[in-house]
Amino acid sequence: MRRLLGRWLVTGELPPAPDEPLASLLVEVAREQGLAGLLHEAISEQRVRWPDAARLALRRAEQEDFAFGVRQLDTASRIQDLLGARGVRCLPLKGVALAERLYDSVAHRPMADVDLLVLDEWPRAVTLLEKAGFAEQGQADHARAFLDPASGIVLELHRGVTSCARLFPLDLDAAWRRSRAGAGLVKRVPSSEDLLVHLSLHAAFQHGLALRLVQYLDFRRLLEREPPDPALLAQVAVGASAQGAVALAFEAAHAVVAAPLSPALQELVTAWSPSGLRGYVASRLRADPSALLAPAEPALARLRWQLATGRRIALIRETLSPSLPTFARSAGFGRLGRALGLARRWFLPTVRSLGARPQK
């Protein structure tokens, strides 16, 4: 099903007149992959005959994604105002930065939560949110999740784009200078070059390339509609030590949804592709790009290890004991427990990936 939806994104051809079981499965997978609204629009525009139950389910999904998405963007806007009024700058990440920019409707770019990157005093931003009534839901080394009791929206307040954020140092002042006014509810959005680097780090390092289809579509639309300046993209990526992540994410987006790579970008991808992953990624992309899609289990440890070439001691240190003050320093059994948890989550899929052959 994921492959069918991926093919539709590339060719524009919907599966013709599916029977009810197939349509039902497609709807389910379209929701999982964040494509229900886009699929509903395509079916309506192309006047394809689909079973009524499936059409209705897609219509309902689009309505809910619209209402939920507007509420999320409004929450992002209010927080930008709240923090901005007290001199704390923040920029949206991922879906919040893209929904109004690349999609006709917020319903076409559903997101689980609102991601905002704080550029200034992090502790102050956290205090301001808590004073405004936001309740903490959880934390990682690079972000804290809050629930807005008024809207029921979950906000992730980031101080880094990924875990182990110190491996990928971002020039936040430069990112702010390059940012621009948003087109709708969101007040300010990052430049195309910054966004591509953020998305690539998130895709490759955070999720081991296991993204939803709509997240791969983000790459394609950004590259199509706001082609980056290759020199500036290179400057931002090199500054953040994110060349490997950019190369992997661009290569995967090209294979999964035909994201366009200009000769200049192709040159960067070739130069930056991590040598230790070339064979692994190429064989998987050749065999079946849709096998990368979430909820696939990525070989996260392997990808992180290769993406941190030259900084592996820092990777181990930051993984076992994050240095950012959002995470309480763990010691003794706490550190051991964290190490065992990470091993179960990352290393087992990696070990499996070493033994498994890509599907033909």
Partner 1 sequence: MAAVGPRARTSRLVTRDLGDELLVYDLERHKAYCLNQVAMQVFRHCDGETTIPDMALRIGNALGMPVDEQAVRLGLVRLEKAHLLDSAVAQILYTSRREMLRTLGRAAVVVGPLVTAITVPTSAQAASGCLPVGSPCTGPGQCCRPFSCNNSIGNPGMKTCGGS
3-state secondary structure of 153: strand
- Distance CA(236)–CA(174), nearest Å, equals 9
Q: Which sign does the torsion angle of CA 215, 219, 224, 225 carry?
A: positive
Residue type, 63: Q
Stretch that binds partner 1, among 108-116, 221-229, 299-307, 314-322 (CB under 8 A): 108-116
- One-letter amino acid at 278 equals R
**Residue 52 found at the interface with partner 1 (CB under 8 A):** yes
Q: Which of 63, 262, 283, 323 binds partner 1 (CB under 8 A)?
A: 63
Element (H, E) at 56: helix 52-84
The answer to whether the CB of 103 falls within 8 A of the CB of 65 is: no
Work out how close the CB of 350 gets to partner 1 at its nearest, in angstroms, rounded to a whole number. Answer: 26
Spatial distance between the Cα atoms of 93 and 61, rounded to a whole number of angstroms? 24
- CA of 1: how far to CAs of 32, 42, 58, 60, in Å? 11, 17, 16, 20
Does position 271 bind partner 1 by CB under 8 A? Answer: no
- Give the residue with the Cβ less far from partner 1, 189 or 255: 189
**Residue 299 CB, nearest approach to partner 1 (Å):** 24
The binder of partner 1 chosen from 13, 17, 19, 20 (CB under 8 A): 20
Whose Cβ is closer to partner 1: residue 43's or residue 247's?
43
Q: Is 23 in the site for partner 1 (CB under 8 A)?
A: yes
Can you tell me the distance from the alpha carbon of 344 to that of 44, in angstroms, rounded to the nearest whole number?
Answer: 45
- Which of 151, 235, 290, 321 touches partner 1 (CB under 8 A)? 151
The reply on whether position 290 binds partner 1 by CB under 8 A is no
Contacts to partner 1 by CB under 8 A: 20-21, 23-25, 27-28, 31-32, 41, 44, 51-54, 56-57, 59-60, 62-64, 66-68, 70-71, 74, 105-107, 110, 112-113, 147, 151-154, 184-185
